[in-house]
Amino acid sequence: MIRKKISAAPSVRRLPSYLNIIRELQTGGNEYVSGTVIAQELKLDPIQVRKDLALTGITGKPKKGYRLPALITAIERYLGWDTPRNAVLVGAGNLGSALMGYAAFNCHGLTIQAAFDINPHLAGTEIHGIRVFPAGSMEAQIRESGTKIAILTVSPASAQAAADALVHAGIDGIWNFTTVKLKVPEDVVVQQEDLSSGLAMLSVMLRAKTRETGKPPA
């Protein structure tokens, strides 16, 4: 996996939230934004924000900050979201279906072309306008279309076999929503998505709050 080589991971993860703020400010008619304002909005350290934005190669003007359209372009270009990319989705269950309906991906240049599922009743249906195909046709279709990104939302028991098939079909990057730590060749990128991480943060923050206020947990 290449993950370990991305040393700026926390910065990269913050960039989309900057984009949200910046787009809101642009809609509000603003022309410039300072790192301090972004930091205030997101309760971050201004130095950290400026460091994160420097990743994209942009520099702000003293006292004025960053020009909004230039800043949006710089972040989108850094993230590669200015380039349309295709993806397939594997596992059209609850979470898979939800992701197929997640319009924000389109704003980030990502189009889910096709979904695959082992459930024969799902094959041939459309979910949020995306066609579901039988799992058996997956490798051939990925090879034919040349798609390089896969979103993995199968059950844990099917995860490694699905990943093997994806790698075999030529996929370069897997966005893994299963809890399984996938074994893939060195040159395949895996982004592990774990909803439990957010729940862990929420739990610990609530406990810290209880400790502060002396209120018992609900």
Q: Does 106 bind its own copies (CB under 8 A)?
A: no
Q: Does 185 bind its own copies (CB under 8 A)?
A: no
Site for its own copies in 17-36 (CB under 8 A): 17, 19-21
Near its own copies by CB under 8 A: residue from 9, 47, 54, 161:
9
Near its own copies by CB under 8 A: residue from 62, 94, 121, 157:
94
Please give the size of the binding site for its own copies, defined by CB under 8 A.
74
- Give the C-alpha separation, 71 to 59, whole Å: 9
Residue 210 in tokens: 């209880």
Let me know if 87 is exposed, middle or buried by CB neighbors in 10 A (0-12, 13-18, 19+).
buried
Q: Which of 157, 155, 165, 154 is nearest to 188 (CA)?
A: 165
Please give the C-alpha separations between residue 215 and each of 79, 151, 203, 204, 206, in angstroms, as whole numbers.
Answer: 43, 42, 15, 15, 11
Near its own copies by CB under 8 A: residue from 66, 81, 116, 133:
81
Q: Which of 201, 184, 205 is nearest to 13 (CA)?
A: 201
Nearer to its own copies, 86 or 158 (CB): 86
Site for its own copies in 131-160 (CB under 8 A): 146-149
Site for its own copies in 157-176 (CB under 8 A): 172-173, 175
CA angle 143, 145, 149 (to 5 degrees): 80
Q: Does 3 bind its own copies (CB under 8 A)?
A: yes
Near its own copies by CB under 8 A: residue from 47, 140, 161, 201:
201
In the complex, the smallest distance separating the C-beta of residue 183 from its own copies, rounded to whole angstroms, is 10
Q: Does 51 bind its own copies (CB under 8 A)?
A: no
Yes or no: say if 138 and 87 are a contact pair by the CB < 8 Å rule: no
- Give the C-alpha separation, 114 to 23, whole Å: 30
In the complex, the smallest distance separating the C-beta of residue 151 from its own copies, rounded to whole angstroms, is 9
Q: Does 115 bind its own copies (CB under 8 A)?
A: no
Residue 11 is classified by DSSP as H
Nearer to its own copies, 38 or 118 (CB): 38
Mark the segment that binds its own copies (CB under 8 A) among 59-67, 117-125, 130-138, 188-196.
188-196
